[in-house]
C-alpha cells in the first residue's frame, strides 16, 4: 500500500501515527514501584490512545511494544513483559473487535512462546475484516532485523528466478517488509525525553515527521496526541521538492 506522500494525497493531520512508548520503567521507579508496575500502567494507556484515533483522523496506529534488543533486560522483566502481552491480548480481544479495530503484529515471532503466538494469531484472525483503526503492534521487532529478513526473502526470489536483479529498486524491498500492507508513518512520536529512534521503522520513516516529548508513556494522554497531530498539520512537508 502506498504512503500518502507516494500517492500524492494530502491531509492536514497524520493518517498514520507510530509511537515509541518509552518511560514505563522510570515512571514506576519514580513512584517507588517495580518496573513491571509501569509496564502495566503503560498497557492501560494504549486503550485510550486507540480510542482517540478516529476523532483525530488517524487511520493507522503503530506502537513499539518490545524490541529485539529488549531481550537484554533482566529475565524477570522479560518474563513479566511476556506475561503482560498474553494477558493484554486475552483481555482486549473482545473490546478491540467490538470497536472495529484491525490488529496486526510485526516482528520476528521465532523467539516468542507458543501460547503468545497463538493469541496473536487469534487476534489477527478475529479482527481481519474490521475497517476501523488499523492497530499494528511491533513485538520482538527491530528495524535492521526486519530489513535483513526482507532482504533474505528478496534474495530467495532472485535465486529462484521469480525476480530479476535488474528489477530490484527502492520500490521492491518494501513489498518484503513486515509492513508491506501499511502506508509509511506520517508522524513518529517518542515519549520520555529520549531523542533517538531506537531501530524503529528505519526504512518506513524516511520522510516521517518526528516528535520527541518529555512525557513518560503512562502519562501520555489523548489530549497530548491531539496537540501533536495539530502541530503536524502546521508543518510544511515538501519531500525534497521546492514550492513554486
Lowest mean pLDDT segment, chosen from 8-12, 61-65, 119-123: 8-12
| Confidence band of 224 (pLDDT split at 50, 70, 90) | very high
Q: How far apart are CA 200 and CA 203, in angstroms?
A: 9
pLDDT, mean of residues 17-41? 97
Coil, strand or helix at 14: coil
238 versus 206: the higher-pLDDT residue is 206
User: Residue 37 pLDDT more than 60?
Assistant: yes
Q: Is the pLDDT of residue 97 over 80?
A: yes
Grid cell digits, residue 77: 522483566
How much helix, strand and coil, in percent to the nearest 5, is found in the chain?
45, 15, 40
State yes or no: is 22 an active-site residue. yes
Note the pLDDT tens digit of each residue in 115-127: 999 999 999 999 9
Question: Is 231 flagged in the annotation as binding?
Answer: no
Which helix (H) or strand (E) segment holds residue 16: the answer is: strand 16-20
Question: Got the DSSP string for 71-132?
Answer: GGS-HHHHHHHHHHHHHHHHHHHHHHHHTT-EEEEES--TTS-HHHHHHHHHHHHHHTT--S
Provide the pLDDT confidence category of residue 243 given band limits of 50, 70 and 90: low
pTM assigned to the model? 0.91
pLDDT for the residue 9: 41
Binding site annotation covers 199?
Answer: no
Q: Is 203 labeled as ligand-binding?
A: no
CA 206 vs CA 10, 172, 184, 209, 221: distances in Å? 18, 16, 9, 9, 26
Q: Which of 22, 178, 184, 186 is catalytic?
A: 22
Which residue in 219, 190, 188 sits closest to 42, CA to CA? Answer: 219
Band of residue 233 on the pLDDT scale cut at 50, 70, 90: confident
Say if domain 16-141+184-227 classifies as CATH 3.40.1180.10. Answer: yes
Q: Rounded mean pLDDT of 62-84?
A: 97
Confidence of residue 1 (pLDDT cuts 50, 70, 90): very low
Q: How is the chain split into domains, by residue range?
A: 16-141+184-227, 143-177
Cα 151 from Cα 3, distance rounded (Å): 21
First and final CA of the chain: distance in angstroms? 29
70 a catalytic residue: yes
User: Residue 19, annotated ligand binder?
Assistant: no
48 is in an annotated binding site: no
pLDDT of residue 239: 52
Helix (H) or strand (E) holding 63: strand 60-67
Amino acid at each position: 500500500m502506498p504512503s500518502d506522500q507516494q500517492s500524492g494525497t494530502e491531509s492536514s493531520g497524520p493518517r498514520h501515527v507510530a509511537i515509541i512508548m518509552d518511560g514505563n520503567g522510570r515512571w514506576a521507579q519514580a513512584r517507588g514501584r517495580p518496573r513491571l508496575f509501569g509496564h502495566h500502567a503503560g498497557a492501560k494507556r494504549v486503550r485510550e490512545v486507540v480510542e482517540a484515533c478516529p476523532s483525530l483522523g488517524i487511520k493507522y496506529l503503530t506502537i513499539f511494544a518490545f524490541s529485539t534488543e529488549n531481550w537484554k533486560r533482566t529475565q524477570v522483566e522479560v518474563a513479566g513483559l511476556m506475561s503482560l502481552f498474553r494477558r493484554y491480548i486475552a483481555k482486549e480481544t473482545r473490546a478491540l473487535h467490538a470497536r472495529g479495530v484491525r490488529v496486526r503484529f510485526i516482528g520476528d515471532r521465532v523467539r516468542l512462546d507458543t501460547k503468545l503466538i497463538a493469541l496473536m494469531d487469534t487476534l489477527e484472525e478475529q479482527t481481519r475484516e474490521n475497517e476501523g483503526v488499523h492497530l499494528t503492534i511491533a513485538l520482538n521487532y527491530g528495524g535492521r532485523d526486519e530489513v535483513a529478513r526482507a532482504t533474505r526473502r528478496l534474495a530467495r526470489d532472485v535465486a529462484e528466478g521469480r525476480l530479476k536483479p535488474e528489477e530490484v529498486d527502492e520500490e521492491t524491498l518494501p513489498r518484503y517488509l513486515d509492513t508491506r500492507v501499511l502506508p509509511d508513518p506520517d508522524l513518529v512520536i517518542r515519549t520520555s525525553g529520549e531523542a533517538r529512534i531506537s531501530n524503529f521503522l528505519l526504512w518506513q520513516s524516511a520522510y516521517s515527521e518526528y516528535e520527541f516529548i518529555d512525557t513518560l508513556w503512562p502519562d501520555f494522554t489523548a489530549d497530548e496526541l491531539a496537540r501533536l497531530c495539530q502541530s503536524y498539520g502546521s508543518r510544511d512537508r515538501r519531500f525534497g521538492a521546492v514550492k513554486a
